[in-house]
Amino acid sequence: METGIATTPFGRRPMSLAMLAAQNESREIPKGRVIDKWQIYRNLCEGKSIVGIGDRALAVLNALLSFYPDSELSEENDLIVFPSNAQLSLRAHGMPDATLRRHLAALVDCGLIIRRDSPNGKRYARKGRGGEIEEAFGFSLAPLLARAYEFEAAAERVRADNRALRLMRERITLHRRDIHKLIEASLDEDVPGDWGGLWKRFRGVVEAIPRRACIAALEPIVADLAALHEEVTKLLDNHMKSTNPGGNDSQNERQQSDSNTDSIFEFEPAFEKARAPAEPRTRTAEPPKAYPLGLVLKACPEIVDYAVDGISNWRDLMITAAQVRGYLGVSPSAYEEACHAMGQETAAIVIACILQRAQHINSAGGYLRVLTDKARAGAFSVGPMLMAALKANGITARMAG
């Protein structure tokens, strides 16, 4: 049975004040405390990072607990187990003797078990005439019972941290999905705004997310994504309010037309004179298929810098051109009319050419309207623009006839 006298290790093993403190703490077990030994072990496994114990040492503790005959630890029962190293190694899945001794020492250092060494260092129990154990030498499990609530609190703290980390990762996933799809929809719907800049900011935040991170490392990432999400949402809300303030479809159509007229004066001050009613929008310009996409990109390489995922087909070029249109100050109505008059592909080529020579053009929107009027009259060809851009870049090319 355990006594109130401090015990020291056998042989060359040193004694420490920490070991003495563990012995004193094990004597302060509240009377009547009874706790399931495997519940204590599960709590230790969950809270191991807080307790400061490793997996292999816990495997040895599991083996020690298996030698305790009862399922519950109680001060009324003898809390000392005394297996030999050979038997302990078998229950620790054949752990080598040197490794076993090292992890037993780690359990002692962490205050999870206490050595009760015999005079000769052997582990055994002395029984009385009635067969009851009078005195045992081995490892005391009393610290497990004394610190059971501490281990439970450690396990709960780890579970709470894991829940918080899981929720934070869920928030990151939702923000990533929403921002990605909202920007993609904005580009598809030709919503004015700096979507290229927003996309670059978004990718910068996403690429900084570590694969394994604590809550403290993820908090600023969540904050950045939330702010970006809010900015994207506000841009879309403002656009929807400006294009659909209310009323039936015919009213909405009329309001959109008025809004576009105002935007012409805002973006294109050189063309504020009243214009004659637009003629029916017909596609009179030549199809761009006569000009390979590769030729367009060689003539106008700057537009590639504004592409979200590069430009590999005509659709990518049209999406990027719709985005670049806003950067150049071209109003939505001007670009829409150009698309109807020239065709979407040709209008995208024109935007790419205008971007390439943006520093030489005072009003990109006014210039595009002039080209649109020529396209309606059948007097516009995008070929000379491409050739001029190629020449400016020092590239010689021949167009297929």
pLDDT digits (tens, 9 = 90+) for 287-335: 444 578 888 888 889 898 888 778 888 888 998 998 888 878 888 888 9
Q: Which two tokens stand for residue 186?
A: 């904005």
Q: What is the pLDDT, as a whole number, of residue 266?
A: 34
Q: What is the Cα Rg of the chain in Å? A: 39
Helices (H), 189-313: 195-207, 215-243, 249-267, 293-299
Residue 377, pLDDT > 60, answer: yes
Residue 75, pLDDT > 80, answer: no
Q: What is the pLDDT, as a whole number, of residue 2?
A: 46
pLDDT-derived band of residue 25, with 50, 70 and 90 as boundaries?
Answer: low
Residue 58, pLDDT > 90, answer: yes
Residue that the structure tokens 């990533």 belong to: 176
Q: Which two tokens stand for residue 336?
A: 């829409």
Residue that the structure tokens 């904050």 belong to: 223
pLDDT-derived band of residue 247, with 50, 70 and 90 as boundaries?
Answer: very low
Across the range 53-77, mean pLDDT stands at: 87
pLDDT-derived band of residue 242, with 50, 70 and 90 as boundaries?
Answer: confident
114 vs 136: CA distance, rounded Å: 13
Residue 9, pLDDT > 70, answer: no
pLDDT-derived band of residue 227, with 50, 70 and 90 as boundaries?
Answer: very high
CA neighbor of 188 nearest in space, from 77, 40, 318, 307 = 318
For residue 298, the SS3 value is helix
CA distances from 385 to 120, 144, 286, 348 (A): 99, 83, 13, 12
Q: What is the pLDDT, as a whole number, of residue 80?
A: 85
Q: What is the pLDDT, as a whole number, of residue 262?
A: 35
Q: Is the dihedral of CA 384, 389, 392, 394 positive or negative?
A: negative
Percentage of residues in the chain having pLDDT higher than 90: 17
Residue 1, pLDDT > 50, answer: no
Q: Which two tokens stand for residue 385?
A: 């623009």
Q: What are phi and psi of 346, to 5 degrees?
A: -65, -40
Q: Which two tokens stand for residue 59?
A: 């495997």
pTM > 0.75? no
pLDDT-derived band of residue 245, with 50, 70 and 90 as boundaries?
Answer: low
Q: What is the pLDDT, as a whole number, of residue 20?
A: 58
User: pLDDT tens digits for 137-176?
Assistant: 888 888 888 888 889 999 999 999 888 888 888 999 999 8
CA distances from 262 to 82, 222, 239, 401 (A): 91, 39, 15, 42
Lowest mean pLDDT among 88-102, 127-141, 192-206, 294-308: 127-141
186 vs 193: CA distance, rounded Å: 9
The larger pLDDT score, comparing residue 39 to residue 247, is at 39
Residue 368 amino acid letter: L
Angle (CA) 348 353 356, round 5° = 125
Q: Which two tokens stand for residue 271?
A: 């063309």
119 vs 121: CA distance, rounded Å: 6
pLDDT-derived band of residue 272, with 50, 70 and 90 as boundaries?
Answer: very low
Q: What is the pLDDT, as a whole number, of residue 285?
A: 41
Neighbouring-strand partners of residue 116:
138
